[in-house]
Chains A and B, each alone.
Chain A
Amino acid sequence: AQTVTQSQPEMSVQEAETVTLSCTYDTSESNYYLFWYKQPPSRQMILVIRQEAYKQQNATENRFSVNFQKAAKSFSLKISDSQLGDTAMYSCAFINNAGGTSYGKLTFGQGTILTVHP
């Protein structure tokens, strides 16, 4: 079974600074996807970024980028130039994409509450 661990329950950062959120996972599979979701106070789950395990290049979406270390099973999220609107819970998630047997079931980490201070 897959597990996803986020060891930082809460973090804070000053506006315009950079922050990195950690995520580690455990799996015996070789073909999988990893995700970071943002959940603002509205509760809406927003997909921030995704990484396919077979891709060596780290994914980037504007101010958001990941550091994917496959051998270490680490998937951290870096937020550059933090903005007040980045205040949210961030959840790391994993899906095994080995054929159709995963049926799209996601495994989530515990979440990290990020607060951006002005």
Chain B
Amino acid sequence: NAGVTQTPKFRVLKTGQSMTLLCAQDMNHEYMYWYRQDPGMGLRLIHYSVGEGTTAKGEVPDGYNVSRLKKQNFLLGLESAAPSQTSVYFCASSSAGTTYTEAFFGQGTRLTVV
């Protein structure tokens, strides 16, 4: 069972470069999320999606864009990377419904912007 897979695992970018992080889940989950994790701040929600073709802003959306063209994939884009975007990025997914079950996380992407 693959679960949630993030690509790539590590990346170094120069300031101003762009890149896309890919998240894929094979659990047929409706909901998907992108979080960033910084020292001393815990995980913070960047963007999320409640279904194919939908996206919404989280707590820290500035500088990022997302797309969910297929139910199983959730892409996070950085159009012009900045050093403040150096972080570890986590993708997660969960099922929809009135009773919460559990979120499943990818293994994270360590991004360094120099």
Binding site for B on A (CB under 8 A): 4, 6, 9, 33, 42-45, 47, 50, 91, 93, 95, 97, 99-100, 102-106, 108-111
Contacts and interface: CB of A to CB of B under 8 A. Distances in A.
B51 to A, nearest CB: 10
Nearest to B44: A108
20 contacts: A43-B108, A45-B90, A45-B92, A93-B43, A97-B99, A100-B96, A103-B50, A103-B56, A104-B33, A104-B48, A104-B95, A104-B103, A106-B33, A106-B92, A108-B43, A108-B44, A110-B40, A110-B41, A110-B42, A111-B42
Nearest 7 A/B pairs, CB to CB: A45-B105, A108-B42, A104-B94, A108-B43, A43-B108, A110-B42, A104-B31
A43 B107 contact: yes
Contacts of A43: 88, 107-108, 110
Nearest to B9: A43
Given A44-B105, A103-B48, A103-B50, A97 B100 contact: yes
A42 B107 contact: yes
Interface of B: 31, 33, 35, 40-45, 48, 50, 56, 58, 88, 90, 92, 94-100, 102-103, 105, 107-108, 110
A95 B97 CA distance: 14
Contacts of A111: 40, 42
Contacts of A4: 42
Contacts of B108: 43-44
Contacts, number: 60
Contacts of A105: 33, 45, 48, 58
Contacts of A50: 102
Contacts of B102: 47, 50
Given A44-B107, A100-B98, A91 B43 contact: yes
A40 to B, nearest CB: 11
Given A104-B96, A104-B103, A110-B41, 4 more contacts: A42-B107, A100-B96, A106-B45, A111-B42
A42 B95 CA distance: 25
B35 to A, nearest CB: 8
